[in-house]
Amino acid sequence: MVADFDFSVLQPSLTFLWTGFLFSANLTLVAMTGGIVFGTLLAMGRLADLGFVSRAAAAYVNLMRSIPLVMVILWFFLVIPLITGKPVGAERSALITFTAFEAAYYSEIMRAGIQSVSRGQVMAGQALGMTYWQSMGLVILPQAFRNMLPILLTQTIILFQDTSLVYAIGAKDLLKAAEIAGKNYNRPMEMYIFAAVIYFAICLALSTLVKRLQKKIAIVR
């Protein structure tokens, strides 16, 4: 064994790593919230009777899903300044990219969720005289959310792991912070291991929780 680890360098850099972690967590929460909202709208658009709306939504979803996330991150980083005329910074660009990208994945989940609600529910809403938006908001979507909650959360765990890819544009997330701290103390290995342990612990804890939740909220039909 060549390596002799010295994990004592972790202690002085903890505050720095914490700011990186906060960015990762913030990015995850923003992209989750925005992604679910836009994703739900996209899913509704895809299931709408208007031909061009559903086609446009489908095109957006399929496009996002067939490009590697790293490429999408680089695309947005390049294109947003071209449109706005000034640089936006890696962190803000990451927030926009992840919201736009994750919306495509959440949209597929919500589409399955909406389609899992039985036809009779739609008709019951209509029979009660509800408008489209009323029956969507009061009858269909709440059930779709409940059915899909475990999958939405699983996607969020994947999203949390994927935030590490902002490395490509140099945004300071947990991984980037670990790399910088590793360079400062000339101890890259310890920092990478530390980052891996943090990611592992959080993701394992969350996926265990999701499994438990899945059992708890399963609807007995």
Partner 1 sequence: MNYHWNWGIFLERIKGGEETYLSWILTGFGWTVSVSLCSWAIALLLGFLVGTLRTAPNRWVARLCNAYVELFRNIPLLVQMFLWFFVVPELLPRGLSMWVKRDMPAKEFATATVCLGLFTSARIAEQVRAGIQSLPRGQRYAGLAMGFTLPQTYRYVLLPMAFRIILPPLTSEFMNVFKNSSVAFAIGVLELTFQARQMQEDSEQGIETYLAVTLLYFICAFIAHRGMSWIEKRTRVPGYIAAAK
Nearer to partner 1, 50 or 59 (CB): 59
Q: How many residues bind partner 1 (CB under 8 A)?
A: 35
One symbol per residue from 158 to 197: x for binding partner 1 (CB under 8 A), - otherwise; what is it? ---xx-xx-xx------x---x--------xx--xx-xx-
Q: What residue type is assigned to position 141 of the chain?
A: L
DSSP line for 3-51: ----GGGHHHHHHHHHHHHHHHHHHHHHHHHHHHHHHHHHHHHHHSS-H
- Candidate segments 10-18, 49-57, 61-69, 212-220, binder of partner 1 by CB under 8 A: 61-69
From 10, 153, 203, 210, residue interacting with partner 1 (rule: CB under 8 A): 203
Q: How far apart are the first and last CA of the chain?
A: 57
Q: What residue type is assigned to position 213 of the chain?
A: L
Find the shortest distance in angstroms from Cβ 75 to partner 1: 6
DSSP line for 63-126: HHHHS-HHHHHHHHHHHHHHHHSS---HHHHHHHHHHHHHHHHHHHHHHHHHHHS-HHHHHHHH
Find the shortest distance in angstroms from Cβ 109 to partner 1: 14
Binding site for partner 1 (CB under 8 A): 1-3, 66-71, 74-75, 78-79, 82-83, 85, 161-162, 164-165, 167-168, 175, 179, 188-189, 192-193, 195-196, 199-200, 203-204, 207
